[in-house]
A and B are shown apart, each in its own frame.
Chain A
Amino acid sequence: MTNAAAFSGGYVANLGPSEDGYLMPAVDEESRFFWEGTLAGELRIQVCTNCGRLRHPPRPMCPSCRSTGRAWTQVSGKGTIWSFVVPHPPLLQPYSDLAPYNVIVVTLDEDPNLRLVGNLVAGPDGELNDVDPTSIRIGEPVEVTFKRFKRSDGSEEALPLWTRAH
């Protein structure tokens, strides 16, 4: 089995994909603040309460000062494109129907070492493929938007996506 499959510890709610089949994050105790934030329209980043260092993805211990004291802070939601790819099939549905789409990595304005994976979309509730991929440039300023997904059991997640900043 892969290392990922062997991970254990911590309650994980993997409630399955959205009703349209989009993969949804598995929310655990460590990441709950992040995914509650996206549902509330907030981009939240974990912060060490001992030394103040920001870190992402969330984890129990600060690698700088080794404190397990942690909280979250809301960030501005502004960043720049660090890199991007354009996947083509073979992919999983429903992503294959949207291909070619873009996936971007955004560097947050708050800290050059903070990056998030996302998609550049044309507007709130945008689709992964509604921006012409040949128009995307590394360094473009972007700002966060949140897109909600519903599962067939009624539960919801919101993913942080990105639009071009104005």
Chain B
Amino acid sequence: MSPAVGFQDATAIAGIAQTPFAKHLEPSETELACQVIVDACADAGIDPSEVNALCSYTMEATEEVDIARNIGCGEVTFFSQVGYGGGAGCGVVGHAALAVASGQAEVAVAWRSRKRGSGPRPWTSTSVQLRVPGGYTRPFGLLRPVDEIAMLTRRYMHEFGATRDHLANVAMAVRKHANMNPAALMYDRPMSRDDYMNSRWVSEPLCLFDNCLETDGALACVVVSAERARDLRHPPVYVHAFAQGLPPEHQTMVNFFNDDPLTGPAWACARRLWANAAFGPEDVNVAQIYDAFTPLILLSLEGYGFCKRGDAAAFTEDGNLEWGRGSLPVNTSGGGLSEAYVHGFNLINEGVRQMRGTSTAQVEGAETCLVTSGEGVPTSALLLRR
């Protein structure tokens, strides 16, 4: 692989915005999306009429056409969607950056709007889920994403000796960061190790606090050229590198059917990401790692090269993931586990804040930030720098 030298630092995230996070927000997903995109443009100091690239998740309820005719776009000349749910977030921002870097558009917007807190649980709708691979998994009672990831987790614990204490280390670090962030749903709810261990089972070996929140919320960011960003209000947050990853013979969420189920999309994505970058994992100051479930952080730490295969459990010990204590603070606004769950987009916005120096758990002097999307599904990742 050769590094994407022309792309490195050629674009920057110049504006971010988010709605309040709540169990229930009143406006529709479409209205929340439009508002948050307009707010991100205001944060960037760019008029929404200049937006000419629209990048979203395939899971997004609101189409580009609806956004455009609400926020008053002119002619939009790039629009793309990225699939695979929680694997898409960094991909969406990456596509926005590709559009700007290649000259297809000047002002790109990426967003996610979701009312999961007040909406139905997607896994209760079974009619479309029984094709491959669902027909081979759901009839047996493997019904929810948590069940699917729990299956990989048990195997991981068996192969590498990780324990519930290691999963608790992850949950507690991320909760600690939420306790510092007034926007986080769990801001005023500290969690001890006893709280974690005594919480109810959801799918053994995963308990309540191994699972992310169920949230209503929307977030957006604006990507422009590096040159344009330098003229705007905030310090530019450069998109240094971007990658997506889909490994051989992968099955989405139920990756049991190949020769190494525990090395998933993160490994494929990371190889391309680091090949595209001018620095390595040892130079990353802070990381926002997709956390629909605590074990995904363990797998991602290994996949992205912060530790060797099988060593992620030890990497979580002694507060190593905590702001103020550890070598790699993760999910510094509280992540999906404790801030809000909007398919990982809050990790992107928090990555931007860390690079701007405005995080509620600011890593002093942080210059680089890794943001990942979901392990367990075809995925994506971004390296941000200031």
Query: Could you tell me which A residues sit within 8 Å of B by CB distance?
Result: 1-7, 12, 14, 17, 22-28, 30-31, 56-59, 63, 82-88, 90-92, 95, 98, 100-101, 103, 105, 112-119, 128, 133, 138, 159, 161
Contacts and interface: CB of A to CB of B under 8 A. Distances in A.
> What does DSSP make chain A's interface, helix, strand, loop or mixed?
loop
A25 B135 contact: yes
Nearest to A35: B135
A106 B268 CA distance: 26
Given A1-B58, A24-B130, A85-B203, A159 B85 contact: no
B141 A82 contact: no
Interface of B: 58-59, 83-85, 121-124, 126-144, 147, 150-152, 154-155, 158, 200-205, 248-249, 251-252, 254, 256-259, 261
A104 B147 CA distance: 11
A2 B129 CA distance: 10
A59 to B, nearest CB: 7
Contacts of B133: 57
A23 B134 CA distance: 10
A99 B259 CA distance: 31
A101 B58 CA distance: 34
Nearest to A137: B158
Given A2-B58, A24-B139, A103 B134 contact: no
Contacts of B248: 63
Contacts of B84: 3
Nearest to B124: A92
B83 A3 contact: yes
Contact of B130 (A25, A105, A112): A25
Given A57-B132, A88-B201, A103-B147, A83 B139 contact: no
A47 B49 CA distance: 56
B204 A103 contact: no
B203 A23 contact: no
Contacts of B127: 14
A10 B59 CA distance: 23
Nearest to A101: B141
B151 A105 contact: yes
Nearest to B249: A63
Contacts of A56: 136, 257
Closest 4 CB pairs of A and B: A25-B135, A86-B204, A83-B155, A26-B130
Contacts of B130: 14, 23-26
Interface centre among A6, A26, A59 (most CB of B within 10 A): A26
A124 to B, nearest CB: 16
25 contacts: A4-B134, A6-B58, A7-B131, A23-B143, A26-B131, A26-B134, A31-B132, A59-B132, A82-B256, A83-B158, A84-B151, A85-B150, A85-B205, A87-B143, A90-B121, A91-B144, A92-B124, A100-B204, A105-B151, A113-B257, A117-B142, A119-B140, A119-B141, A138-B154, A159-B139
Interface centre among A12, A28, A90 (most CB of B within 10 A): A90
A100 B141 CA distance: 11
B11 to A, nearest CB: 27
Given A2-B85, A95-B143, A83 B154 contact: yes
Contacts of B158: 83, 138
B136 A116 contact: yes
A5 B125 CA distance: 11
Nearest to A63: B249
Given A88-B203, A98-B141, A117 B136 contact: yes
Contacts of B139: 22-25, 159
Contact of B151 (A83, A98, A112): A83
A4 B84 CA distance: 9
Given A4-B131, A57-B136, A87 B141 contact: yes
Nearest to B260: A113
A117 B134 CA distance: 10
B141 A105 contact: no
Contacts of B59: 1-2
A87 B203 contact: yes
A112 B248 CA distance: 16
